[in-house]
Structure 1
Amino acid sequence: MIPFLSLEGKRALITSGTRGAGAATVALFRELGAQIVTTARTQPADLPDSLFVAADLTSTEGCAALAAAVRERMGVVDIIVHMLGGSSAPSGGFEALNDEIWRKELDLNLMPAVRLDRELVPSMVSRGTGVVIHVTSIQRQLPLPEATTAYAAAKAALSTYSKSLSKQVSPHGVRVVRVSPGWIETEASIDLATRLAADHGGDVEQGKKMIMESLGGIPIGRPSKPEEVASLIAFLASDRASTITGTEYVIDGGTVPVV
């Protein structure tokens, strides 16, 4: 029986693939037959050298080094999944965000995709095939002014850039799509829930509830699992989604309260 979903023979670059939804995406792509390269600043012990390139993607030099390593190992890529993102900005609203913080948020959440696409997408265009997936965030629609203004703005910029790229390269056979997660139950988010609960004398479930309430609620009553986000990405990267381009898929348990 032919499997419903296969990435057999596909060559994929997945950034930030060592933990959370990125690690789940790496694991699923490998299970589905893809040849992958992933990257982070530090290599985890359970990931072999053949699958990993250490790089700091917040710099121009780091992106160029990764692109060169990808070309050396795989020749060309069929799929790029831009998982990298996050925030280290302080709370305190817009007044707490100086120029250096803004630069760091943009260099983490926008510029790695811009730089890597510029390096690797032209070969997709010349071959007339390829898939680029930009992982954005529902924060671009639901920013939390106290804590995520710069992160949300960077992800909004990534979404707009992605849409523009799709309009340029889709006529040449290259699909560009966005995946917009809400809260994902990663190790980091569970640590946050644990800290919040400890501050208020509760348990981790109460901490999770506090996070959900800060987002305005999650109708299904829980965050997404990393594996669920990975499954959506794998489908969009596959030939099953061959006419899907230029659009965004939200995976947030119903958090965004608008159509």
Structure 2
Amino acid sequence: MIPFVTLAGKRALITSGTRGAGAATVALFEELGARVLTTARTKPESLAASKFVAADLMRAEDGAVLAEAVRERLGGADIIIHMLGGSSSQAGGYAALSDAQWQQELALNLMPAVRLDRELVPEMVARGSGVVIHVSSIQRALPLPEATTAYAAAKAALSTYSKSLSKEVAPKGVRVASVAPGWIETEASVDLAKRLAAEHGADIEEGKRMIMDSLGGIPIGRPSKPEEVASLIAFLASDRAGTITGAEYVIDGGTIPTV
């Protein structure tokens, strides 16, 4: 029986694929038959060297090296999944953010996707086929002003860029979509829940509740699993989603309280 979703024969680049939702996406794409190349600054021991390129995508030169590796190892990309993102800005609201911190958030959350698309999407256009998925965040619409203003603004820029790119390349056979997760229960977020619990003399479930409360609550009562985010991405990348382009898909357990 043919599976509902297959990526058999597809060549995929997945950035930041060594942990969390990125690692889950790499694993699922391989399970569904794709040939995958992923990247991060450091290779985990469990990952084969042939499937990995060490790169700091905040540096333009490393993006160019990764794009060339995609051509050499895969012969090009049928699918690009931009998973890279995060925030290191301090708390304290807008006044605590320096120019350097603003540049840091844009350099991590926007520019790697812009550069890699500029390198690899023209080859998709030339073939008349391809899929690009940008992983944004619900914080583009629901920023937390105490600590994530710059991150949220950078993700909003990524979503807007994704929409613009889709309008340009869809007539040429290339689909572009974005995915906006809410809180994902990754190793890092579980560690945060443990720290919060320890600080308040509570258990880890209460630590998770504190995080959910900081987001205004999650109606479904729990964060998304990395595998759930990966499943959405895999569907959007597959031929089953053949007319989906220019749209953003939220996966947040109902966190955003408005239409």
TM-score by length of 2: 1.00
Residue in structure 2 matched with residue 37 of structure 1 by the alignment: 37
Structure 1 residue 49: Cα displacement: 0.6
| Alignment-mate amino acid for residue 165 of structure 1 | L
| Alignment-mate amino acid for residue 164 of structure 1 | S
Distance in structure 1 (CA, Å) of the matches to 2:51 and 2:2: 27
SS at match of 1:155: helix
Distance in structure 1 (CA, Å) of the matches to 2:86 and 2:62: 17
1:140 aligns with 2:140: yes
The runs of at least 4 aligned residues of structure 1 exceeding 2 Å deviation read none
Distance in structure 1 (CA, Å) of the matches to 2:221 and 2:2: 35
Residue in structure 1 matched with residue 194 of structure 2 by the alignment: 194
| Alignment-mate amino acid for residue 145 of structure 2 | P
TM-score by length of 1: 1.00
Q: Which sections of structure 1, spanning at least 5 residues, go unmatched?
A: none
Deviation track 1:211-230 (CA, whole Å, cap 9, x = no partner) reads 00000000000000000000
| Alignment-mate amino acid for residue 239 of structure 1 | D
Structure 1 residue 39: Cα displacement: 0.1
Residue in structure 2 matched with residue 172 of structure 1 by the alignment: 172
Q: Which sections of structure 2, spanning at least 5 residues, go unmatched?
A: none
Residue in structure 2 matched with residue 58 of structure 1 by the alignment: 58
SS at match of 1:201: coil
Residue in structure 2 matched with residue 204 of structure 1 by the alignment: 204
Distance in structure 1 (CA, Å) of the matches to 2:209 and 2:193: 8
Residue in structure 1 matched with residue 127 of structure 2 by the alignment: 127
SS at match of 1:231: helix
SS at match of 1:37: strand
Distance in structure 2 (CA, Å) of the matches to 1:57 and 1:24: 20
| Alignment-mate amino acid for residue 172 of structure 1 | K
Identity %: 78
Distance in structure 2 (CA, Å) of the matches to 1:213 and 1:172: 44
Structure 1 residue 2: Cα displacement: 1.3
Deviation track 1:141-178 (CA, whole Å, cap 9, x = no partner) reads 00000000000000000000000000000000000000
Structure 1 residue 255: Cα displacement: 0.2
Distance in structure 2 (CA, Å) of the matches to 1:11 and 1:123: 13
